[in-house]
Structure 1
Amino acid sequence: MMKRGGAVHVVRVVKSHTDKHGQERVYRSAYLRRTYREGGKVRNETVANLSALPGHVVDFIDAGLKGRHLVPADAVATITRSLPHGHVAAVFAQAKALGIPALLGPACGQRDLALALVIARVCRPGSKLATTRWWADTTLAEDLGVAGATTDEVYAAMDWLAGRQETIEKALAKRHLSPEANPDRLALFDLSSSWVTGHKCPLAARGYSRDGKKGLEQIEYGLLTDPEGRPVSVRVVPGNTADPAAFEALAKDFKTRYGLADMVMVGDRGMITSARIEQLKELGGLGWVTALRAPAIQALAADDGPLQMSLFDEQDLAEIAHPDYPGERLIACRNPLLAAERARKRTALLAATDTELAKITAAAEAGRLKDAGKIGVRAGKVVGRYKMEKHYTLTIGDTSFAYARNEEQIAAEAALDGIYIIRTTIQDTHMDAGQVVATYKSLANVERDFRSIKAIDLDLRPIHHHTETRVRAHVFICMLAAYLTWHLRRAWAPLTFTDENRPEPENPVAPAKRSAAAQTKASRRTTPDGHPAHSFRSLLDHLGTLTRNEIRYGAEETAPLIPTLAVPTPIQHKAFDLIGQSFPLTLK
Structure 2
Amino acid sequence: MNVRRCTLKNASGGTFTYLQLVHNYRVKETGKTKTNVLMKLGREDQIDPSYIQDIIKALSAVFGDTTPGIAAGFEFHASKELGGPWIVDALWNKLGMANAIKGLLKDRQFSTPVERLCFAMVAGRILAPGSKLSLEHWVSKKAYIADLNDVDVHTLYRAMDLLVESNQELQKQVFSEVAKNARLDVDLIFLDTTNTYFETDEDISDSGLLKRGHSKDGHAELPLVSIAFAVTRSGIPIRCWVFPGNTSDQTIVEQVKQDLGAWNLGRVVMVQDAGFNSADNRRILLRECGDFIIGEKLRVGTDGAAVEALHRKGRFRVLENGLAIKDVVIDTGKATERRFIIVKNPEAESRDRVIRGQIVDAAKQKLKELSQYTGKAHTKAACALRSHSAYGRYITQDSKGLLHLDTAKIASEELLDGKFLVSTSSMKLDAADIVAGYKQLWSIERVFRDMKNTLDIRPVYHRLDDRIRSHILICWLAMILIRYAENVTERSWYQIEKALAAITAGLIESDKVNLWYCSDISDEAKDIFKRLNIVLPKKVIATVQKKRTAV
Q: What's the TM-score, normalizing by structure 1?
A: 0.57
For residues 154-173 of structure 1, the aligned pairs below 5 Å read 154-173=156-175
**Residue number in structure 2 paired with 1:524:** none
Q: Deviation per CA, 1:455-474: give whole Å up to 9, x if none.
A: 1x322222232222222222
> In the alignment, is residue 539 of structure 1 matched against residue 499 of structure 2?
yes
CA distance in 1, matches of 2:213, 2:268: 33
- For residue 326 of structure 2, the aligned residue among 298, 318, 323 is 318
CA distance in 2, matches of 1:312, 1:139: 56
Q: Secondary structure at the match of 2:303?
A: helix
Kept in 2, the 8 Å contact 1:175–1:181? The answer is no
Kept in 1, the 8 Å contact 2:339–2:424? The answer is yes
Shift of 1:229: 0.5
- For residue 518 of structure 2, the aligned residue among 566, 575, 585 is 566
Q: Secondary structure at the match of 1:166?
A: helix
The amino acid that maps onto 1:580 is I
The amino acid that maps onto 2:129 is P
CA distance in 2, matches of 1:272, 1:136: 50
> In the alignment, is residue 580 of structure 1 matched against residue 539 of structure 2?
no
Shift of 1:135: 0.9
CA distance in 1, matches of 2:306, 2:494: 48
The amino acid that maps onto 2:161 is D
Shift of 1:170: 2.5
> In the alignment, is residue 468 of structure 1 matched against residue 465 of structure 2?
yes
Shift of 1:537: 2.4
The amino acid that maps onto 2:449 is R
Shift of 1:421: 3.4
Kept in 2, the 8 Å contact 1:201–1:467? The answer is no
Q: Deviation per CA, 1:455-507: give whole Å up to 9, x if none.
A: 1x32222223222222222222112111112223344x3xxx828xxxxxxxx
Q: Deviation per CA, 1:109-132: give whole Å up to 9, x if none.
A: 344322210111122222222111
Are the structure 2 counterparts of residues 226 and 438 from structure 1 closer, same or farther at C-alpha, using a change threshold of 3 Å? Answer: closer
CA distance in 1, matches of 2:123, 2:499: 15
> In the alignment, is residue 125 of structure 1 matched against residue 77 of structure 2?
no
CA distance in 2, matches of 1:182, 1:438: 15
Are the structure 2 counterparts of residues 312 and 216 from structure 1 closer, same or farther at C-alpha, using a change threshold of 3 Å? Answer: farther
Are the structure 2 counterparts of residues 141 and 205 from structure 1 closer, same or farther at C-alpha, using a change threshold of 3 Å? Answer: farther
CA distance in 2, matches of 1:313, 1:154: 55
Kept in 1, the 8 Å contact 2:309–2:330? The answer is yes
Q: Secondary structure at the match of 2:291?
A: strand
**Residue number in structure 2 paired with 1:258:** 260
Q: Secondary structure at the match of 2:147?
A: helix
**Residue number in structure 1 paired with 2:148:** 144
Q: Secondary structure at the match of 1:318?
A: strand
Q: Secondary structure at the match of 2:473?
A: helix
- For residue 192 of structure 1, the aligned residue among 186, 191, 194 is 194
**Residue number in structure 1 paired with 2:17:** none
Q: Secondary structure at the match of 1:221?
A: strand
User: Which sections of structure 1, spanning at least 5 residues, go unmatched?
Assistant: 1-67, 352-364, 366-382, 393-406, 500-532, 554-560
RMSD: 5.4
Query: Mean Cα displacement is larger for which, 459-468 or 166-175?
Result: 166-175
Are the structure 2 counterparts of residues 84 and 177 from structure 1 closer, same or farther at C-alpha, using a change threshold of 3 Å? Answer: closer
Kept in 2, the 8 Å contact 1:548–1:566? The answer is no
Query: Mean Cα displacement is larger for which, 253-262 or 438-447?
Result: 438-447
Shift of 1:228: 0.5
- For residue 249 of structure 2, the aligned residue among 243, 247, 250 is 247
CA distance in 2, matches of 1:71, 1:339: 69
The amino acid that maps onto 1:450 is F
- For residue 224 of structure 1, the aligned residue among 214, 222, 230 is 230
Are the structure 2 counterparts of residues 339 and 85 from structure 1 closer, same or farther at C-alpha, using a change threshold of 3 Å? Answer: closer
Query: Mean Cα displacement is larger for which, 74-83 or 98-107?
Result: 74-83
Are the structure 2 counterparts of residues 73 and 268 from structure 1 closer, same or farther at C-alpha, using a change threshold of 3 Å? Answer: same
Kept in 2, the 8 Å contact 1:317–1:332? The answer is yes
Are the structure 2 counterparts of residues 311 and 184 from structure 1 closer, same or farther at C-alpha, using a change threshold of 3 Å? Answer: farther
Shift of 1:256: 0.8
CA distance in 1, matches of 2:69, 2:317: 83
Q: Secondary structure at the match of 2:502?
A: helix
> In the alignment, is residue 236 of structure 1 matched against residue 236 of structure 2?
no
Identity %, equivalent residues? 21
**Residue number in structure 1 paired with 2:421:** 421
The amino acid that maps onto 1:188 is F
Are the structure 2 counterparts of residues 341 and 246 from structure 1 closer, same or farther at C-alpha, using a change threshold of 3 Å? Answer: farther
**Residue number in structure 2 paired with 1:552:** 511
Q: Secondary structure at the match of 2:141?
A: coil
CA distance in 2, matches of 1:490, 1:332: 27
The amino acid that maps onto 1:126 is G
**Residue number in structure 1 paired with 2:485:** 488
Shift of 1:93: 1.8
> In the alignment, is residue 114 of structure 1 matched against residue 122 of structure 2?
no
